[in-house]
Amino acid sequence: MTVPIAPRPTTLLRGGTVYSPADPFATAMVVEGDRVAWVGSEGAAESFADRADEIVDLDGALVTPAFTDAHVHTTATGLALTGLDLTAATGPAEALAAVAAHTRARPADRVVLGHGWDPAGWPGGAVPGRAALDEAADGRPVYLTRVDVHSALASTALLDLVPGITAMAGYSPDGPLTGDAHHAVRTAAHETVTAEQRRHAQRAALHHAATLGIGALHECAGPLISGEDDFTGLLALAAEGSGPRVFGYWGEAVTSARQLDRVRDLGAVGAAGDLFVDGSLGSHTAHLHAPYDDADHTGLVHIDTAAVTAHVIACTEAGVQAGFHAIGDAALTSVTDGVRAAADHVGIDRVRAARHRIEHAALLTDETLAAFADLALTASVQPAFDAAWGGPDGMYASRLGAERAARLNPFAALLRAGVPLALGSDAPVTPLDPWGTLRAAALHRTPEHRVSVRAAFAAHTRGGWRALGRDGEGTLVPGAVADYAVWQTGDLVVQAADDRVARWSTDPRSGTPGLPDLAPGEPLPQCLRTVVGGRVVHDRLNG
């Protein structure tokens, strides 16, 4: 018996602007099932109207590919959205008051979880002491991550749950915990989160992402970050299909095919993401060649060059994408030296074909940037970091001095060298905010690092797919996956970092499609609908 194939539902969108390389002046698009079927002009759209199951009058709205956020911690983002958010705290007293209020309001929580404190702008950079934290939480366990999530404040009751904590590297008797001590306390805190709490947080994060026109997330998980149950639970939730896609990376060093089988069994697309080579600049844990300007050390090393080499060899031989978290110049030297040694072992063509990726890649030198290009490494970067901490008066300058800080996040140089970029937020470190991310890339606080909005848009859409090895996705062309967003926005313009490029690109003869005006003070676009694989996952068009 032959089972009839159900017809694929057809949607016609018309009367707006469609951002597509197939037609720079497109005003309409047809979607059949989970694929883009046609893109073109309003006049030709009429021929599709009779057979469309849904006709969307865009009323001048903009249709673009959905964004891909290439670096997210989904559960932590959800917990920040639904729990104790300290990003607005202006000093220790306000942070402690927020802890006290949250503790009273959540009597059933086994541990008080909070995120986002940043002493960079607090008076004297002071942070709450442990006794004050114990008092604010009425003696309950408390775990509060700094905005970069590379250090944390913990109460005495939480420390008491970790045997041997005082002997661990990174322990402080009255200040933030870093390194091994932080990882141990984080594990203890996360073990208190129930499956119900975790799922609620994940749903909140995925829903929020959908409202922002984000169609896909790269979850950067690992044994020191979130744990296996969190990771597999998130992938299962995303597979239900009610929100953005989630592609999971598992950040654990491997040396054998058997270990990689376990990574695959978890559902990971790569042994990459936050596999820490170093820490962060804000927490003084990024690994530098020369000491910090405001500290007498060079940061932390989590894995060395030899471990990088072994990991890349194992992954390349197994056909698995490898990757690392590396921020400081010394960490990036270690990574590129390690990948180079792996290429000498397995062959550079195999390493290039694997498209191994590096998260953050902040303090690049001329040598490491050239190595990125030669080894075909993808740079997964976060422009909002520069918006938050860059500039001559920012935290980066305090940590590194103005000269070194001005070298951070060189997006334009990466693009000129041919290094693929994938843009993300590292949420909850900085918020999910794709248009804000594009604005930060185009208005980098160091002018020579700025890129055009169009280039940043490509890196935040197609770049995320390319980082997964799926080059045909992330654009609205016939045959592509129907992941798109509809936006209410103002004028569409062409913004370029180079005036000569801008003069040509804004000429209609260039056929360069416009994007929303992201100049300072201009309102960011509002998402009216998000569609993933032809399924509507967020909708304000119909109410």
pLDDT tens figures, 12-37:
999 999 999 999 999 999 999 999 99
Q: Which of 400, 394, 395, 186 is nearest to 287 (CA)?
A: 400
What structural domains does the chain harbor? 10-65+476-489+525-539 (2.30.40.10), 74-192 (3.10.310.70), 250-468 (3.20.20.140)
**Beta carbons of 237 and 199 less than 8 angstroms apart:** yes
Q: In what order do the strands lie in the sheet with 54-57?
A: 35-40, 28-32, 10-14, 54-57
Dihedral (Cα; 399, 405, 410, 413), 10-degree rounding: -140
pLDDT of residue 190: 83
**Beta carbons of 443 and 391 less than 8 angstroms apart:** no
Question: How far is residue 240 from each of residues 201, 203, 245, 246, measured CA to CA in Å?
Answer: 16, 11, 10, 11
- The residue ranges of DSSP E strands in 352-435, in sequence order, are 357-360, 378-381, 421-423
Q: Which of 243, 246, 242, 244 is nearest to 232 (CA)?
A: 246
pLDDT of residue 543: 59
Angle between helices 74-82 and 195-211 (to 10 degrees): 90
Q: Is the pLDDT of residue 461 over 90?
A: yes
The pLDDT tens digits of the residues spanning 323-377 come to: 999 999 999 999 999 999 999 999 999 999 999 999 999 999 999 999 999 999 9
Q: Which amino acid is at 176?
A: P
Tally of helices (H runs) and strands (E runs) in the chain = 21, 23
| Contact partners, residue 216, CB within 8 Å, separation at least 6 | 66, 67, 68, 69, 244, 245, 246, 247, 464, 465, 483, 532
Coil/strand/helix, residue 399: helix
Q: Which amino acid is at 438?
A: L
**75-79, 129-133, 247-251, 510-514: range with highest mean pLDDT:** 247-251
Confidence (pTM): 0.91
| R_g over Cα of the chain | 24
Reading the block at residue 56, the tokens are: 């969307």
pLDDT of residue 503: 44
How far is it, in rounded angstroms, from Cα 248 to Cα 321? 12
**Beta carbons of 351 and 405 less than 8 angstroms apart:** no
Q: Is the pLDDT of residue 505 over 50?
A: no
Q: Which of 292, 186, 222, 276 is nearest to 73 (CA)?
A: 222
Q: Is the pLDDT of residue 497 over 80?
A: no
How far is it, in rounded angstroms, from Cα 231 to Cα 221? 7
The gap from C-alpha 212 to its chain's centroid, in whole angstroms, comes to 14
Q: CA torsion sign, 383 to 421 to 523 to 482?
A: negative
Q: Which of 412, 424, 303 is nearest to 357 (CA)?
A: 424
Q: CA torsion sign, 95 to 100 to 101 to 106?
A: positive
pLDDT of residue 499: 52
pLDDT of residue 523: 96
Reading the block at residue 437, the tokens are: 């991310």
**218-227, 408-417, 534-543: range with highest mean pLDDT:** 408-417
The pLDDT tens digits of the residues spanning 109-145 come to: 888 888 888 988 888 888 999 999 999 999 999 999 9
How far is it, in rounded angstroms, from Cα 2 to Cα 241? 28
Residue 456 phi, psi dihedral angles, 5° rounding: -65, -40
DSSP element (H, E) containing 182: helix 179-190
The pLDDT tens digits of the residues spanning 141-176 come to: 999 999 888 889 999 999 999 999 999 999 998 889
Reading the block at residue 41, the tokens are: 């002009």
Reading the block at residue 144, the tokens are: 């509060």
Res. 496 pLDDT band, cuts 50 70 90:
confident
**Beta carbons of 364 and 331 less than 8 angstroms apart:** no
